Structure 1
Amino acid sequence: MNKRILLIIMLCSLLLSGCWDSNEAGRMFYLFGIGVDYKDGEYKVYAQLVDFASIARSVQPPNPDIVQSVVGEANGKTVNEAFNNLYNSLDEELYWGHITYLVFSNDLLEQGKLNPVINAFIQFHDTRYQTWVFSTKESIRKIMLAKPVLNKAISLSKLAYPINSYKQHSFIEPLNLRKLIINMDEPSHQTNIPLVSLISNWETYKSDDTETLINGVSVVTPKNVLGELKNEQAQGLQWLSDETIRAGLSVDIADGQEDDEKNRISVVIEKMKAKVIPIISSSQVRFDIHLDMVALLSGYRGDISVAEIQKAVKKRVEQQIQTTYQESVKFDSDVYRLSEYLYRKHLKTWKKFERNGRIELTNDSLRNITAEVRVTSGRKSFKNTIEN
């Protein structure tokens, strides 16, 4: 009998031993977002802590005045030193396993401090390569403190989950840490980091709501920022991204008409495929771009034919691709990663022409852009629903 009791006690002790060094969930702070700036020879880190207790069971906190998150900051000569200084101001242990996004300041990127930040970040065993990455020229603190409209949970913000809005309008492709590292390691050793800013175009009866806006990219290398593309300058990027899901486009069906509304149509682009073809000669490499896409007419006034839709969309898409390319060449960047297409398909040729990991591009390096547009409605023409 005594042996049986002793055996039970020993088994129970084995089960309990694994919990002796565990941490209580309620006795930890959860790091949700990180911002990093670099000024006057020091790193400044911003840490956003989220109160999951207030949002764990709902996408919307029950009390609109509840504080969902706080943002703290600390300085240091290195990133790790800055975080060590941040730890000193915390009452509990900081847990890194829930980080969803990183925001880099333009100053940090321009001074080539991206690598030290990434090196420090991936050393924490709780961090993930699926963390979203952004850049900004505005105050990191204000960016991180912006709340989603209608008091949605902070875990559903644009920084935390950019895929939500991207599904409806695929303008700037979200970038995670894994893809950033891959792009930096492969030709042309640069990447397009989504550029986030603040906008106040929503308001309630109490006040204006400040929301985050992603309307461009910072073109970045490991050493510096080559330049940025915003708004109309960046529109060509959506047509060469494999991640594009659904993109809206407004175009003019003819030039020189006085009635702008009647001349204007809106379409939704879906099921898009892009193909880049290197054209090789003895002295240079040029590129052809071919696109195949489906257009669904979503807004129009007056009578219009399928042929007119196809012609207008084709012209506008080709113009946007060319505009983005020409703008990027101004600051010597390979925004469409054309060098990588040559690297993948014609390695010997790439070795012949490459300089520092990429092909030198000029205004004429993009030879032909061809967009094939299919209208899926099945109608031969579109007429006003109500005749005037």
Structure 2
Amino acid sequence: MKKIKNILILSCCISILSGCWDSNEPERLIYANGLGIDYKDGKVIVYLQIINMRGLAKSESGGDPSSFSTANVGKASGSTLDEAIFNLYHTSDRRIYWGHISFVIFSEEAIKTGGLKYTADFLDRYRETRYRIFFFMTKDSIKDAMLISPIENVSVAFSKLSDPDDNYKQSSFIPPINLREIIINIDEPAHQVAIPQLKLTEQWNSQEKKKKDLLMETVAIISENKIKAILPKKMLNGGRWFNKDFVRDNVTIFPETKNDVFVVIYDKKNKITPVIEKNEKVRFDIRMKVKASVEMLIKGATRDQYEKEIKRAIKKEIQTTYQYTQKRDIDLFRLSEKLYRKNIKAWKKVETNGRIPLEEDTLRSIQIDVEIQDTGKQRLTPIFEGQRDKGLENQ
């Protein structure tokens, strides 16, 4: 009798359990991958990229390879960003899930009307979004940029927009910037944000036709909801040596000669030290250590000549970039932050709106130490005739 009574009690308990009746099954959701924001005629225009999450599965698990690189882009407008997004909801077949959104593209007009700070605040507050959302700007069509599929037949979730870190590790020229870094750069000295600028090109071809792709070789400097400048590629060369997540990139040496070659620089370490002079003027000493891989050799050139030329090339790039940005009141090397971190008393004396004055001679010294490690695959042989490979000295 007691056993029957326990069974009845258990049955009653099971009958009142709610279970998962209010959960959302993954296959019933629509996944947002990218957001585009434009501004025209007093209206905010929103573009939303939707991707097929099956592209993330392995082909042997039953995914359809033909659908991996496909994406759909929706468009809606409104008086505010929130209104435009809700107007887009009205045309959606299913609930849109924002937890996988990975990038935002702004038009130039959207930036000028304060869209960067508003969007960063909006994404920071929304419960589904994460901080690994990358930010870009373009003067070209946002819709066309969002409809570009990866070169290979891989998921759009692994495109240059969705996952720029992998491309950056191979050539550390323009660092991607995510939501967390945007918030920090806006709120802390010197209140300037460097956002990669996208350009639509046709540098790749498929068997059928030319293929559109995205080029990133310029940067928009944004401060106080204004675009201070668009830095061209040549003027960004010196800035890459101060990217904290720098992995590797190349530099040309012996320029303007028939023997100009390039070397790959990696394992970069730098230190910027603020110096307070007697007149309370702030200047900076830069010390940098790099390792290099020589890809091409000039007959008769010595190791010392190579190392001296690498030092000269990197130093010239730093000086050129600094002079260009200093004249435009751009603190690309984040010198204001360096002083703020290391000597806040001195920073308070000279700062204006979080930035310290930058003059032509603010960089007091630039010292670069170079160590040539190898010649690519030829690590087991001496690099230069009659000299021992430094990579073998400790073996």
Q: TM-score, normalised by structure 2?
A: 0.89
After superposition, give the CA deviation of every residue in 1:108-167 in whole Å (9 maximum; x if it has no partner). 222333222122222220100111111222211111111111222211101111111111
Q: Deviations over 1:143-192 (max 9, x none)?
A: 11111112222111011111111111111111111011111111101121
In the alignment, the residues of structure 2 paired with residue 330 and residue 10 of structure 1 have an alpha-carbon distance, to the nearest angstrom, of 78
Assess if the C-alpha contact under 8 Å between 2:52 and 2:68 holds in 1.
no
Paired AA for residue 133 in structure 1: F
**Structure 2: distance between partners of 1:144 and 1:137:** 13
Bigger mean CA offset, 367-376 vs 298-307: 298-307
- Could you say which residue in structure 1 is the equivalent of 2:390? none
CA contact (8 A) 1:175 1:193 kept: yes
Unaligned runs of 5+ in 2: 387-395
1:374 maps to 2:371:
yes
Contact residue 186 and residue 192 of structure 2 kept, 8 A: yes
Of residues 309, 320, 324 in structure 2, which corresponds to 1:327? Answer: 324
- Preserved CA contact (<8 Å) 2:69 2:150: no
**2:195–2:220: 8 Å Cα contact kept in structure 1?**
yes
User: Which residue in 1 is equivalent to 2:49?
Assistant: 48
Q: Which runs of 4+ in 1 moved over 6 A?
A: none
Contact 1:266 1:300 in 2 (8 A): no
Equivalent residue, structure 2, for 1:249: 251
2:275 counterpart residue number: 279
- Aligned partners of 1:278, 1:67: CA distance in 2, in Å? 49
- CA shift for structure 1 position 300: 2.9
Which range moved further: 36-45 or 70-79? 36-45
Equivalent residues of 2:68, 2:154 under 8 A apart: no
Residue 144, structure 1, aligned to residue 140, structure 2: no
The 8 Å contact of residues 61 and 151 in structure 1, kept in 2 or not, is answered as no
Q: Percent of counterpart pairs with the same letter?
A: 37
Structure 1 unaligned segments of length 5 or more: list them.
384-388
For the Cα contact (< 8 Å) 2:237–2:317, is it kept in 1?
Answer: yes
Structure 1 position 217, deviation (Å): 1.4
After TM superposition, give the deviation of residue 63 of structure 1 in Å: 4.4
Provide TM-score, normalisation by structure 1. Answer: 0.91
Cα drift, residue 13 of structure 1: 4.4
**Number of equivalenced pairs:** 376
Partner Cα separation in structure 1 for residue 95 and residue 274 of structure 2: 53
Q: CA RMSD, aligned part only?
A: 2.2
Q: How far has the Cα of 1:222 moved from its partner? A: 3.5
Bigger shift: 175-184 or 296-305? 296-305
SS in 1 for 2:359: coil
* Counterpart mapping for 1:137-286 below 5 A: 137-252=139-254, 257=257, 260=258, 263-281=259-277, 282-286=279-283
- Alignment-derived partner of residue 17 in structure 1: 18
CA offset digits 1:52-86 (Å, max 9, x no partner) = 12442349975447762101111111110110100
Does the 8 A contact of 1:270 with 1:293 survive in 2? Answer: yes
1:18-37 equivalences under 5 Å are 18-37=19-38
